[in-house]
Amino acid sequence: MNIRYRVDLDESERQQLLDLTRGGTAGVRKIKRGQILLMADAGKLDAEIAEALPVGTATVYRMKQRFVEEGLEAALQERPRRGGERKLDGQQESLLVAIACSKPPKGRSRWTLNLLCGALVALTDIESVSPQTVRRRLAECDLKPWQKKMWCLPKVDAAFVARMEDILDLYAEPPDAERPVVCFDESPTQLIGETRIPQPAEPGNPARYDYEYKRNGTANLFVYLDRHRCWRHVDVTDSRTNADFAHRMRDLVDVHYPDAELIRVVLDNLSTHTAAALYGTFPAQEARRILRRIEFHYTPKHASWLNMVEIEIGVMNRQCLDRRIPDKTTLIDELVAWQQQRNTERGTVNWLFTVEKARDKMARCYPKIGEAAPPAVEAVSQHRRKKSPKKRRWVQPFKTPGKRY
């Protein structure tokens, strides 16, 4: 016998369902149950409700039945679904996480789902476990053992802070034509040619190009960026040797800033970025002439983000170099057009990091005055060799096991 269930909502229940369906923050299933009850309360037939929402008539019938027999809250909530028990208990899941965080087996570069299944079966009394079970348990722990991420943590000491604040003070100075601040760096790029002619885009079809390409060597880009005026310049060379760096510094003095009294250059700690590179390339008089008008300001180690030109290189890569460029001539033409457009548009880098912000945000990283030396430094100082005044030879008072002298 098919029993007819009648839905009669009181004012509070009706308002609760209206808030539920209009709010948009609840789950889709819960909102649809509320809509079914509201339409049934309005006198709609089961077939009309099923067609309007749309759901099956059996769903409408069961929802009305649950409301009449169990109440509003029970009708809106999800009932426990059928399914098997969890394959792994808490101890086995902890073991799985420990295995995934350990080194992979010998001969394998990383853990895979199948390797984790085999290791779990070998270490427990489980007869078998599927890769999907392992994947779901790892996903619950937000663990992906097959992924790696490279990171670099700089050592923030007095030398780091000194160089950082020196560069930040340069950026904060007002513009001075006699003492410009120029950020300088280099970036390699590949010359890649097409093996087949690409097809241009058409209405309804995107541009197409062949996956195969021809590698035509590499080129090096020396990038200059003026901190206080909207100017950048790119030089393309075949290499980045000491001589290449020396010629870039001479161009900076004689071509780009012939009237400047002193050019403050911000650059990183690359082995070629030294005054010795100029002495190894030019006669001593010429090298001294150039260096009298240049002042180097080095970024801290592992802190190239302090060099403002890194941001400009990222813009250059996105706007100009994110494609296949076959040869050096084309590369030069494209970069000249890009830098002219950027200079004409007066593109700038909005640098907001200052010394005050650095001291506020990095206060815990700053060295503490009067702080004891690290244990490693103290150990070295205690075991340093001493010279005996009587025997005139080096004497080692004692040796630390495992230490090489």
Quick: pLDDT tens for 287-298: 999 999 999 999
- Nearest C-alpha neighbor of 299 from the set 186, 160, 93, 136: 160
Question: What's the pLDDT at 2?
Answer: 60
Query: What local confidence, expressed as pLDDT, does residue 372 receive?
Result: 52
Report yes or no: 303 and 297 within 8 Å, Cβ to Cβ: no
Q: How much of the chain is in helix, strand and coil states, percent to nearest 5?
A: 45, 15, 45
Say if CB 228 and CB 180 are below 8 A apart. Answer: yes
- Token couple for 299: 């970024």
Inter-residue contact 126 to 132 (CB < 8 Å):
no
Chain segment 185-195, per-residue pLDDT in tens: 999 999 999 98
* Whole-angstrom distance, CA of residue 36 vs CA of residue 44: 9
Supply the pLDDT for residue 220. Answer: 95
Beta partners for residue 11, in sequence order: none
pLDDT tens per residue, range 207-241? 999 989 999 999 999 999 999 999 999 999 999 99
DSSP code string of 343-379: HHTT--------HHHHHHHTGGGSPPTTPPPPHHHHH
Quick one: pLDDT band at residue 382, thresholds 50, 70, 90? very low
Determine the residue type at 192: I
Instruction: Report the pLDDT value the prediction gives residue 283, as an integer from 0 to 100.
Output: 96
Give residue 401's pLDDT band: very low, low, confident or very high (50, 70, 90). Answer: very low
Separation of alpha carbons 84 and 363, rounded Å: 53
Are 258 and 290 in contact by the 8 Å Cβ rule? The answer is no
Indicate whether 152 pLDDT > 90. Answer: no
Residues in Cβ contact with 32 at an 8 Å cutoff, skipping those fewer than 6 apart: 53, 55
Q: Given this model, what pLDDT does residue 43 score?
A: 87
Q: Take residue 151 and report the two structure tokens written for it.
A: 């990171």
Q: How many CB atoms lie under 10 A from the CB of residue 280?
A: 14
- For helices 11-23 and 28-41, angle between their N-to-C axes, nearest 10 degrees: 140
Residue 375 has pLDDT above 70, yes or no: no
Q: Is the Cα torsion angle 289, 295, 300, 302 positive or negative in sign?
A: negative
The confidence band for 389, taking pLDDT boundaries of 50, 70 and 90, is very low
Pick 255 or 151 by higher pLDDT.
Answer: 255
pLDDT recorded at residue 393:
45
| Residue 29 neighbours by CB under 8 Å, 6+ apart | 78
Q: What is the pLDDT of residue 371?
A: 59
- Per DSSP, the three-state class of 31 is helix
The 10s digit of each residue's pLDDT in 325-342 is 999 999 999 999 999 999
pLDDT value of residue 231: 93
Percent of the chain clearing pLDDT 70 (strictly above): 90
Helices then strands, each counted (H, E), the chain: 16, 7
Best-predicted range by mean pLDDT (40-44, 90-94, 258-262): 258-262
Q: Is the pLDDT reported for residue 384 higher than 70?
A: no
Mean pLDDT of 361-372: 76
43, 80, 118, 281 from 103: Cα distances, Å: 65, 39, 15, 49
Q: What is the pLDDT of residue 153?
A: 64
298-313 pLDDT tens trace? 999 888 889 999 999 9
Q: Which amino acid is at 88?
A: L
- CA distances, 80 to each of 61, 74, 83, 237, 333 (Å): 19, 12, 9, 68, 67
Per-residue confidence (pLDDT) for residue 145, from 0 to 100: 84
55-83 pLDDT, tens digit per residue, is 899 999 989 998 888 888 888 888 777 77
Angle between helices 90-100 and 113-123 (to 10 degrees): 130
| Token pair belonging to 139 | 């996903």
Compute CA distances 155 → 77, 138, 160, 267, 375, whole Å. Answer: 54, 33, 7, 19, 16
